[in-house]
């Protein structure tokens, strides 16, 4: 008897750990009602941002939110690809795979900067 894969199992984010940091995919929802990390969606970390996708405002908001939630400096967060796309590849220095996995499992949490001055 063969064992078939569980098709109901959740898709996991592919997280690559190297050079003292991690890289992973992020799916951004700009112009949301609040800034929040909402777990895994389609193999990427789903992030809602109040910032619009113009003049790099959403990219900057993404870096700020990830840095704050992971307790790293903003300069540790870099967008490797997808600057003009909702799906991005992000690198963060100084963290582990487990810290990203914990973000995926955490309940959606509103950022302190929601509805802050623009």
Q: Among residues of the chain, what percentage have pLDDT more than 90?
A: 65
Structure tokens, 51: 């910032």
- Give CA torsion, residues 79, 76, 69, 33, to 10 deg: -30
Site of tokens 């991690």: 22
* pTM reported for the whole predicted model: 0.81
Greater pLDDT, 60 or 5: 60
CATH of domain 16-107: 3.30.1200.10
Taking 60 as the threshold, does the pLDDT of residue 23 lie above it? yes
């Amino acid at each position: 008897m063969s064992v078939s894969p569980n098709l109901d199992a959740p898709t996991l984010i592919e997280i690559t750990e190297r050079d003292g940091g991690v890289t992973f995919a992020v799916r951004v929802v700009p112009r949301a009602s609040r800034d929040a990390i909402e777990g895994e969606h389609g193999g990427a970390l789903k992030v809602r941002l109040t910032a619009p996708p113009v003049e790099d405002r959403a990219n900057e908001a993404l870096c700020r939110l990830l840095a704050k939630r992971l307790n790293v400096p903003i300069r540790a967060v870099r967008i490797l690809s997808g600057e003009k796309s909702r799906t991005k590849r992000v690198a963060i220095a100084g963290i582990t795979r487990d810290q990203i996995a914990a973000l995926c499992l955490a309940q959606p949490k509103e950022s302190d900067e929601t509805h802050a001055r623009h």
